[in-house]
Structure 1
């Protein structure tokens, strides 16, 4: 049963009245959910639908998340307190997914949670590095600046993903069209030549026999093949949901030439950005290292960064600890060493982030430049091989008849 949107009026533990929206399967489920938030529900009723008969989409998209952070950052930078900003945003996004999010944030603040705690528990589901920046800015008393820094990071990630997605469209179309052509040749064209196997006998080349047998099998058992492909895809997807399998796949990618260095630079760029933002917010180095490690998505790199933290607590310098774990290249080590010696580590980390981001972007572009011709060569070679196999079978049969 799909969740419904309910409007509620309630009081918190301090007896302060409040209202908002909540998604639940039923009114009783909404009542229990509000009680779990420490609220005493007074009235709960289905939310009114806007004209047109339906509520707008309730699914939060990446653009919606960025919009929420941008609007909160703008209001905070203008000097509007959170206690006024969130109700205003809630009204502006009534009957939308963001309206529900701002309801949750406002309810959390009124319930005694900090803004970062409310943000972490909300449906906004911000990335870990963004949450760490906001938490650090809140602790330093510069929440507006931290929100703006977090927004810059989200915009960079969104821009990189959009660029990658757009660049992959043409190669993806090539591969899909080529695979469809290969399947059609195997399933429709090749079986029409199956008589060549019985007539040609041993005179049919082995490559032609293999292609013809595969084509006849696909033609006769296409449902079984389709179910097998779907089953393999399902098993692979289920395996990738297992943490141990995912960690093994990540470690394998890190060891691959080219791809491994690309992933390492992308992850270290995320880490240096988070660490630099935390240090700029006057967070102590030990605490900043612990928080910034959560921004790294690859488990093995997080473990190595945890080792770096332990070595620093033991008295080792940051640059030496990172070099010992092979997390930075000589250029990055030189920059960090200068930052440590000059006391400008946060500024150097910001520069290193730009270097890593630029390098990762260039590697991605080089990979995409090679992907398109590789896809064309693969599809062309596959179709050419099929055609050659069929023509060899035809010519071998003609030679057998002439003899």
Structure 2
């Protein structure tokens, strides 16, 4: 299936131009005739050009990537061949960027390229496990199952990110509102009482600190703004640096409440990923390597690498996990049961569900603590400012009397 750029005149005499999908020039011309368009020119557009121009005009989101593989897996399950499934999508009403991906996949499949290699040539941003799932599906003949499991995992990853962002919206607004309130107090309220500094010879320390700070901030607004912007930018840059992220994540994972949430959500992703890979017939050592990459906490990722070494040396997975102390004793026992029953992938899926539920409860607990803590801190700051102003006023009145 190719794409053709055409120009023509419709039955009303209006000039038209656009792009149409067809197998050949004749087929494209026939489609245009059926639309009652008199063709003045028609040219084939190269797939590589389409891909480049499409990516410039439309960015492929993570939802689009999930949609691409979901539709392919659905058609494969319906008994359609891989080539026919991709070819059918070339005629769909997707965006230009997605159509360009399908066109490139079809071109590669027609040339005899394996689907896993064709996917890599699309340069889609996919997690590592997706490539390995596709390769394992090609080897085992269960491509539809492998793609569907990969899609489910990508949806799960996207869901976790979305839920976390949504849950943090209200606390973020609350904190931002508090910062704005304190800034307004320092910029517009406190400076109004600056004359009290000269009228009161002996002012309480708290009052002096509040009014002096307010006056200084008001006199150096530009400098304070620049320093604030530089600070926020610096923190943002530091958070992207591995040298900073590694100790930060390790530290946060050891903290009460937030540490439990990070650890349980991390183990939920790891156990789910390992279960999916094993269910797709990916070899144990390769599955352990890929699953370890899904872990976000550095110290756990290092220990999971040691778990792989233990399994490689002949230890059972449960024994290796127990030795490295990366999961709870309950998880070790469940893994042991899965090894004995020969259905480890199903057991790991159950473990993932347990950790996911525990993680959600931890997140709710954390959010329920953030809100009152933020209110308390903001209230204390505003209260200190108000008390400082009142003390300054009363001290000035005492002297006047």
Q: TM-score range by the shorter chain?
A: 0.7 to 0.9
Q: Secondary structure at the match of 1:160?
A: helix
Shift of 1:216: 1.4
Q: Give the conservation status (yes or no) of the 8 Å contact 2:90–2:99.
A: yes
Which deviations, in whole Å up to 9, do the C-alpha atoms of 1:290-343 show, x marking residues without a partner?
232232233432221111111112122211211222211011011011112222
Shift of 1:110: 4.5
2:25 alignment partner in structure 1: none
Aligned equivalents of 2:130 and 2:332: distance in 1? 25
Further displaced range: 100-109 or 145-154: 100-109
Q: Give the conservation status (yes or no) of the 8 Å contact 1:130–1:153.
A: no
Shift of 1:280: 1.4
Q: Secondary structure at the match of 2:47?
A: strand
Shift of 1:224: 1.1
- 1:70 equivalent in alignment to 2:63: no
- 1:178 equivalent in alignment to 2:209: no
Further displaced range: 301-310 or 98-107: 98-107
Correspondences of 1:160-175 after superposition (within 5 Å): 160-175=160-175
Which deviations, in whole Å up to 9, do the C-alpha atoms of 1:341-396 show, x marking residues without a partner?
22221221111111111111111121122222222222222212211111111111
Q: Secondary structure at the match of 2:90?
A: helix
Aligned equivalents of 1:113 and 1:212: distance in 2? 73
CA pair 112-265 structure 1, distance change in 2 beyond 3 A: farther
1:352 alignment partner in structure 2: 351
CA pair 169-132 structure 1, distance change in 2 beyond 3 A: same
- 1:139 equivalent in alignment to 2:139: yes
Shift of 1:18: 9.2
Normalising by structure 2, we get a TM-score of 0.81
CA pair 365-129 structure 1, distance change in 2 beyond 3 A: farther
Q: Give the conservation status (yes or no) of the 8 Å contact 2:338–2:344.
A: yes
Q: Give the conservation status (yes or no) of the 8 Å contact 2:145–2:280.
A: no
Unaligned runs of 5+ in 2: 1-18, 22-43
Aligned residues: 362
Aligned equivalents of 2:335 and 2:347: distance in 1? 6
CA pair 113-262 structure 1, distance change in 2 beyond 3 A: farther
Which deviations, in whole Å up to 9, do the C-alpha atoms of 1:47-68 show, x marking residues without a partner?
8xxxxxxx99612223222222
Aligned equivalents of 2:103 and 2:359: distance in 1? 38
Shift of 1:249: 1.8
Aligned equivalents of 1:113 and 1:181: distance in 2? 61
Unaligned runs of 5+ in 1: 1-6, 10-16, 25-29, 31-45, 48-54
Q: Secondary structure at the match of 2:295?
A: coil
1:154 alignment partner in structure 2: 154
- 1:96 equivalent in alignment to 2:123: no
Q: Secondary structure at the match of 1:91?
A: coil
CA pair 108-266 structure 1, distance change in 2 beyond 3 A: farther
Correspondences of 1:2-401 after superposition (within 5 Å): 19-20=46-47, 22=49, 58-93=58-93, 95-110=95-110, 113-201=113-201, 203-401=202-400
Q: Give the conservation status (yes or no) of the 8 Å contact 1:90–1:99.
A: yes
Which deviations, in whole Å up to 9, do the C-alpha atoms of 1:16-75 show, x marking residues without a partner?
x99425478xxxxx6xxxxxxxxxxxxxxx78xxxxxxx996122232222222222212
CA pair 340-205 structure 1, distance change in 2 beyond 3 A: same
Q: Secondary structure at the match of 1:283?
A: coil
Q: Give the conservation status (yes or no) of the 8 Å contact 1:116–1:131.
A: yes
Shift of 1:123: 4.3
CA pair 288-183 structure 1, distance change in 2 beyond 3 A: same
CA pair 392-368 structure 1, distance change in 2 beyond 3 A: same
| Cα RMSD for the two superposed structures | 2.8
Aligned equivalents of 2:46 and 2:79: distance in 1? 25
Which deviations, in whole Å up to 9, do the C-alpha atoms of 1:197-218 show, x marking residues without a partner?
12113x2221222221221122
Q: Give the conservation status (yes or no) of the 8 Å contact 1:208–1:390.
A: yes
Aligned equivalents of 2:110 and 2:246: distance in 1? 40
CA pair 104-245 structure 1, distance change in 2 beyond 3 A: farther
Q: Give the conservation status (yes or no) of the 8 Å contact 2:133–2:282.
A: no
Q: Give the conservation status (yes or no) of the 8 Å contact 2:257–2:366.
A: no
Shift of 1:276: 1.2
Max Rg structure: 2
Shift of 1:107: 4.2
Shift of 1:194: 0.8
CA pair 157-132 structure 1, distance change in 2 beyond 3 A: same
CA pair 108-359 structure 1, distance change in 2 beyond 3 A: farther
1:39 alignment partner in structure 2: none
